[in-house]
């Protein structure tokens, strides 16, 4: 049993992951900037003013970092882009400053992104050893992982390059489904843009395996690759809804500004590396996963 602290654990992934790891027998604490009157295993910090509850450090053997301002929540103004970087890179740096003298920490596990390889080769299935792309998201990911690597001075380091998480509780899938439910869903542009995906429960199992076997380095957490067109049509079919004609690229760009790249571009990734460590996906079929969520 480990004492696990999940920084940024109050969100979509953290809430489910904390429950999953508690069921597996670990003592799990959430580290958040906000108080909670519901969860007694809640600790506070404020990375901006550089304060942290000392209980988050004492006795902690595994530190998971899921912090990050939501990429698709607001238009990408200059200050928002800074927030996207700082909420990942600066929080990681502050965590390292806080833990660097700990003799108990054994493992640092950082969230990272699977869509970070650039969009020049849409048919290529990227592996973990491939280099990152040159767009904003790839650059954020590169700097986020570089900051995470500081922890290698004191413990093992893993970086979980997470695909788009399919969940009943929120996230990108529900955002995609909302307009479809209301009758104005549509494929975006050609719809060919790749979307690596993973069902939430499988993602928690990836984290569990990485912690149990102290797997170091980067791992894709992705069950497979779909496309905007395939996913949109599948959701519409499952919900028994019709789609409007595809939205042209220039309209998406006008509506979403710089953030449009998240909707118009994507890359495929391989899950061979995590499978070679013995991981098998419980939910590897997109059709039945969408049925499970919406059916």
Ligand X SMILES: NC(=O)c1ccc[n+]([C@@H]2O[C@H](COP(=O)([O-])OP(=O)(O)OC[C@H]3O[C@@H](n4cnc5c(N)ncnc54)[C@H](OP(=O)(O)O)[C@@H]3O)[C@@H](O)[C@H]2O)c1
Q: 6, 43, 89, 111: which one contacts ligand X (CB under 6 A)?
A: 111
Q: Which stretch binds ligand X (CB under 6 A): 26-34, 53-61, 146-154, 243-251?
A: 26-34
**What beta strand segments (E) does the chain contain?**
3-7, 27-32, 42-46, 51-52, 62-65, 107-113, 125-126, 156-162, 164-166, 186-188, 194-199, 217-221, 224-227, 244-247, 268-269
Closest CB to ligand X among 165 and 263?
A: 165
User: Which neighbouring-strand residues pair with 126?
Assistant: 269
Q: 4, 43, 64, 113: which one contacts ligand X (CB under 6 A)?
A: 113
DSSP per-residue codes, 55-94: GGTTT--EEEE-----TTSS---HHHHHHHHHHHHHHHHH
Q: 34, 153, 182, 242: which one contacts ligand X (CB under 6 A)?
A: 34
Q: Which residues in the 70-109 window bind ligand X by CB under 6 A?
A: 70, 87, 91
User: Which neighbouring-strand residues pair with 156?
Assistant: 107
What is the bridge-based pairing of β-strands 125-126 and 268-269?
parallel
Distances (CA, A) of 280 to 117, 198, 238, 245, 277: 24, 12, 26, 38, 9
Q: Output the smallest distance, CB 175 to ligand X, in A.
A: 10
The residue number with the shortest CB distance to ligand X is: 11
Query: Which residue reads 């990681």 in tokens?
Result: 92
Q: Which residues in the 234-253 window bind ligand X by CB under 6 A?
A: none
Q: 64, 68, 99, 289: which one contacts ligand X (CB under 6 A)?
A: 68
Q: Output the smallest distance, CB 83 to ligand X, in A.
A: 6
Distance between CA 230 and CA 129 in Å, rounded? 28
Distance between CA 187 and CA 242 in Å, rounded? 11
Q: 43, 47, 187, 260: which one contacts ligand X (CB under 6 A)?
A: 47
Query: Which residue reads 């992982």 in tokens?
Result: 145
Q: 3, 4, 5, 10: which one contacts ligand X (CB under 6 A)?
A: 10
Q: 62, 172, 195, 252: which one contacts ligand X (CB under 6 A)?
A: 172
Q: 66, 116, 148, 264: which one contacts ligand X (CB under 6 A)?
A: 66
Quote the DSSP letter at residue 132.
P
At 183, give phi and psi (nearest 5°): 90, 10
Q: Output the smallest distance, CB 273 to ligand X, in A.
A: 17
Number of residues that bind ligand X (CB under 6 A): 24
Q: Which stretch binds ligand X (CB under 6 A): 11-19, 176-184, 211-219, 237-245?
A: 11-19
The answer to whether 158 contacts ligand X (rule: CB under 6 A) is: no
The answer to whether 162 contacts ligand X (rule: CB under 6 A) is: yes
> Sheet containing 164-166: which strands, arranged edge to edge?
164-166, 194-199, 224-227
Q: Which stretch binds ligand X (CB under 6 A): 7-15, 18-26, 174-182, 188-196?
A: 7-15
Note the residues at the interface with ligand X (CB under 6 A). 8, 10-14, 32-34, 47, 66-70, 87, 91, 111, 113, 162, 164-165, 171-172
């Amino acid at each position: 049993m480990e004492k696990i602290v999940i920084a940024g654990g109050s969100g979509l992934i953290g809430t489910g992951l904390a429950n999953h790891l508690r069921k597996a027998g670990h003592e799990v604490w959430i580290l958040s900037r906000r108080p909670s009157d519901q969860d007694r295993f809640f600790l506070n910090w404020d990375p901006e003013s550089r304060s942290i509850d000392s209980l988050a450090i004492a006795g902690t053997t595994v530190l998971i970092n899921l912090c990050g301002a939501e990429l698709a929540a607001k238009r990408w103004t200059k200050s928002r882009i800074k927030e996207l970087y700082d909420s990942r890179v600066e929080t990681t740096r502050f965590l390292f400053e806080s833990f660097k003298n700990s003799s108990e920490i054994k493992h640092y596990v950082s969230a990272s992104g699977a869509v970070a390889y650039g969009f020049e080769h849409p048919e290529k299935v990227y592996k973990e050893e491939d280099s990152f792309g040159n767009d904003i998201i790839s650059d954020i990911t590169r700097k986020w992982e570089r900051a995470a690597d500081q922890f290698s001075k004191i413990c093992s380091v893993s970086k979980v390059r997470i695909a788009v998480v399919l969940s009943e509780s929120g996230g990108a899938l529900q955002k995609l489904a909302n307009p479809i439910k209301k009758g104005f869903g549509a494929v975006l542009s050609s719809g060919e843009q790749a979307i690596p995906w993973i069902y939430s429960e499988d993602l928690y199992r990836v984290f569990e395996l990485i912690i149990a076997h102290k797997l170091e380095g980067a791992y894709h957490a992705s069950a497979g690759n779909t496309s905007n067109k395939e996913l949109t049509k599948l959701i519409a079919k499952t919900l028994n809804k019709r789609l409007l004609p595809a939205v042209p690229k220039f309209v998406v760009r006008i509506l979403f500004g710089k953030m449009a790249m998240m909707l118009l571009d994507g890359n495929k990734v391989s899950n061979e590396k995590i499978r070679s460590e013995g991981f098998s996906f419980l939910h590897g079929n997109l059709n039945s996963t969408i049925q499970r969520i919406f059916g």
